[in-house]
Amino acid sequence: MPGRIVVLPEKLTHRIAAGEVVERPASIVKELLENALDAGATEIAVELEKGGCQSIRVTDNGEGIEREDVALAFARYATNKIAAFEDIYLIRSFGFRGEALPSIASISRVEMVTRRASSPAGTRLIIEGGEEKELSDAGCPVGTSILVSRIFEPVPVRRKFLKGEPTEQGCCLDWIARLALAHPGVKMKVSAGGRVLLNVPAVKDLSERIALTLGRDFRGQLIPAAGEREGVRLQGFVSRPEFTRSGASHMYFYVNRRFVKDYLLNHAAMTAYRRVIEYRRYPAVVLGLEVPPGEVDVNVHPAKMEVRFRNPRDIYALIVETVSSAIGAGFPQAREAGVAGGAEAGRAAYAARVEEALRRYRVSSGPEKLFFKEAPGRKKEIPSMQPMPAAGEASTELEEPERRTRFSDLVYLGQVAGTYLVFAGEKGMVLVDQHAAHERILFEKLRRREAETGEREIGQRLLIPEVVSLPPRDFAFLTESVPVLEEAGMEVEPFGGDSVVVKALPAFLPPGEVKTLISDLLSDCGEADRDLPLVERRERIFTVLACRGAVKANRTMTSPEVSALCRDLDVISHAATCPHGRPVAVPVSVFELEKMFKRR
């Protein structure tokens, strides 16, 4: 256990990059939880009011603080964890800057009650506006309870930067989940506005904690992964290749039990999965690295989510090997496909991937750059898929409503690669991406129905309603989106605890895909979009529904289907692109054809 608290010498305090510790309520939750864990707590309760924007209480049964140390804990750079600069590199506990409590107290009102097992009486400390208001005896159990309220009152400008309460609460819950996954042996209870959102007992098995924290659907979908290389150990669970998500939000990495967001680590895990899951699908992974403290710098970023490894190449290889053999073990075809790096060609491709990842790692490890923003994700990839506008006179034609091509007037010639429809027209040739076109049509229908007719899409009731269990923040997002989903013909209702029941789907969606649909909705309406106003959120949700409902690539279309598609394209506006921004149709003018054949 750490020793008594000392004030760090000034020289040292300057050498520690002072960061903005308290950015938003979630930062407070994170710091208080880490302090509780550092204090050896085995039970922690978190209570949030108004998404953590009004107040946050964290109660633990840890070692508590001595009376004479209580005020010192709120002094800047007071910590019981390091005394000399070199120690920073040997840190094992979470906190070590002694910055959190003073920073929190400077922007809020803090009330702390704490007692050590050796003291008969506890202590109550109240700090307001950065000043001590009360220090007195208090009857309380062993441990510490901190109530933080009037958050950001002294800095009103900060309040303006806060997103809506649901988003702030979501961010708090994100941190709680990250810490809960790293400490399966600690009982955690989380409530918001009096409602219990998470209540996980202490468990021995991490996979059990994952299922309780991220959703029961994970049960039975997790494969243990463990490996070692050059003194670095990797351990955790990875999802079966068929249990994929459409976003990378369920990829959790820890370095010495500290949650990190790191491009390199994500990239390595994706390399292992590359051949066994579809493009743009992501696995769920909860992986912890045990790295000798001198081999890793956790001090790169004040929020401490980034790390820098002395030997990134070894770390990369360890992850690829361990994850590959984990998914290979359960899925021999993965090994045959050369995932573990068998074939020569595979090896070259692998080497190229490693180099690319390392290059980006170096480029992005600058102190001011939050490089997880660059993690592989679909938003980033879309721009590269933007069409090259076809050269020549026909290129603008589809965008100009007056002169727009009527698809029904074109002559359908056939399908190429199971995906592209080829048409002949007076001015040349038109190529249509069947999936993009259908997606655009469904999207426009959803969007206009309500505005123009006041009706909503007719839902198709499921014979057997499906219950889906969700992590708390997704639960909140989904239940708030119910009016939008209803507009699209989807019936979703809260179903006790963290579950929802799906009773009806839009008629254009195939039934039996409820879980994938929900998980796509949640990951495609990603972090940034969650606090969008309802109107815009509506667009995002409709985009996902349209995408799932649209006829897939690689499917033969019959002539009547093609005619129907053309009629539909003629009545909607914006026919030129799908809702993701990819082109629906690309015209090739006679002029361009002539150029191709060197007639011009």
73 binds, among Mg ion, ligand ADP, none (CB under 5 to 8 A by kind): ligand ADP
Site membership for ligand ADP, residue 96 (CB under 6 A): yes
**Binds Mg ion by CB under 5 A, chosen from 22, 70, 100, 291:** 100
> Please, are residues 532 and 540 in contact by the beta-carbon 8 Å criterion?
yes
CB of residue 67 vs ligand ADP: minimum separation in angstroms?
13
Rounded Cα gap, residues 2 and 163, in angstroms: 37
- Strands 285-290 and 251-255, how do they pair? parallel
> Please, are residues 321 and 229 in contact by the beta-carbon 8 Å criterion?
yes
CB of residue 162 vs Mg ion: minimum separation in angstroms?
22
CB of residue 372 vs Mg ion: minimum separation in angstroms?
22
Sign of the C-alpha dihedral computed for residues 393, 397, 399 and 403 taken in this order: positive
Rounded Cα gap, residues 233 and 315, in angstroms: 9
Backbone angles phi, psi at 5, to 5 degrees: -80, 135
Task: Considering only the stretches 32-40, 264-272, 497-505, 528-536, report the one whose residues sit in contact with ligand ADP under the rule CB under 6 A.
Answer: 32-40
| Helices 165-182 & 206-214 angle (0-180, nearest 10) | 170
Tokens coding 183: 């400490």
Size of the site for ligand ADP (CB under 6 A): 24
Task: Considering only the stretches 98-106, 198-206, 363-371, 581-589, report the one whose residues sit in contact with Mg ion under the rule CB under 5 A.
Answer: 98-106
Query: 146 or 319: whose CB is closer to ligand ADP?
Result: 146
**Binds ligand ADP by CB under 6 A, chosen from 26, 28, 73, 505:** 73
CB of residue 70 vs ligand ADP: minimum separation in angstroms?
9
Task: Considering only the stretches 95-103, 382-390, 433-441, 564-572, report the one whose residues sit in contact with Mg ion under the rule CB under 5 A.
Answer: 95-103
Site membership for ligand ADP, residue 122 (CB under 6 A): no
Q: Which residue is nearest to ligand ADP (CB)?
A: 95
Rounded Cα gap, residues 395 and 296, in angstroms: 54
Rounded Cα gap, residues 230 and 226, in angstroms: 14
Rounded Cα gap, residues 478 and 537, in angstroms: 11
**Binds Mg ion by CB under 5 A, chosen from 95, 170, 312, 549:** 95
Site membership for Mg ion, residue 143 (CB under 5 A): no
Site membership for ligand ADP, residue 169 (CB under 6 A): no
H or E segment to which residue 542 belongs: helix 534-549
- For residues 128 to 167, the per-residue mask of contacts with ligand ADP, x marking binding by CB under 6 A and - elsewhere, is ----------------x-----------------------
> Please, are residues 418 and 556 in contact by the beta-carbon 8 Å criterion?
yes
Site for Mg ion, residues 2 to 41, rule: CB under 5 A: 35
Query: 95 or 392: whose CB is closer to ligand ADP?
Result: 95
Sign of the C-alpha dihedral computed for residues 475, 481, 485 and 491 taken in this order: positive
Backbone angles phi, psi at 6, to 5 degrees: -130, 155
CB of residue 129 vs ligand ADP: minimum separation in angstroms?
18
Site membership for ligand ADP, residue 35 (CB under 6 A): yes
Say which residues have a Cβ less than 8 Å from residue 249's Cβ, sequence separation at least 6. Answer: 523, 526, 527
Site membership for ligand ADP, residue 63 (CB under 6 A): yes
Q: How far is CA 308 from CA 99, 261, 369, 389, in A?
A: 22, 11, 13, 42
**Binds ligand ADP by CB under 6 A, chosen from 25, 51, 52, 62:** 62
CB of residue 31 vs Mg ion: minimum separation in angstroms?
5
Site for ligand ADP, residues 388 to 447, rule: CB under 6 A: none
> Please, are residues 410 and 425 in contact by the beta-carbon 8 Å criterion?
yes
Task: Considering only the stretches 89-97, 182-190, 298-306, 340-348, report the one whose residues sit in contact with Mg ion under the rule CB under 5 A.
Answer: 89-97
Query: 77 or 218: whose CB is closer to ligand ADP?
Result: 77
**Binds ligand ADP by CB under 6 A, chosen from 25, 51, 52, 98:** 98
Query: 64 or 247: whose CB is closer to ligand ADP?
Result: 64
- Strands 43-49 and 55-60, how do they pair? antiparallel
CB of residue 29 vs Mg ion: minimum separation in angstroms?
12
> Please, are residues 425 and 405 in contact by the beta-carbon 8 Å criterion?
yes
CB of residue 101 vs ligand ADP: minimum separation in angstroms?
3
47 binds, among Mg ion, ligand ADP, none (CB under 5 to 8 A by kind): none
Q: Cα 56 vs. chain centroid, distance in angstroms? A: 23
Q: Is 66 exposed, middle or buried, given 0-12, 13-18 or 19+ CB atoms closer than 10 A?
A: middle
Rounded Cα gap, residues 222 and 178, in angstroms: 17
Q: Which residue is nearest to Mg ion (CB)?
A: 95
Residue of 123, 148, 32 lying closest to 71 (CA atoms): 123
Query: 51 or 102: whose CB is closer to ligand ADP?
Result: 102
Residue of 8, 146, 133 lying closest to 64 (CA atoms): 146
Backbone angles phi, psi at 475, to 5 degrees: -60, -45
Task: Considering only the stretches 29-37, 215-223, 275-283, 518-526, report the one whose residues sit in contact with ligand ADP under the rule CB under 6 A.
Answer: 29-37
Site membership for ligand ADP, residue 60 (CB under 6 A): yes
> Please, are residues 51 and 168 in contact by the beta-carbon 8 Å criterion?
yes
CB of residue 256 vs ligand ADP: minimum separation in angstroms?
16
Site membership for ligand ADP, residue 65 (CB under 6 A): yes
Rounded Cα gap, residues 593 and 584, in angstroms: 20
183 binds, among ligand ADP, Mg ion, none (CB under 5 to 8 A by kind): none
> Please, are residues 60 and 86 in contact by the beta-carbon 8 Å criterion?
no
Site membership for ligand ADP, residue 80 (CB under 6 A): yes
Q: Which residue ranges make up the site for Mg ion (CB under 5 A)?
A: 35, 95, 100
Q: Which residue ranges make up the site for ligand ADP (CB under 6 A)?
A: 5, 31, 35-36, 38-39, 60, 62-65, 73, 78-81, 95-101, 144
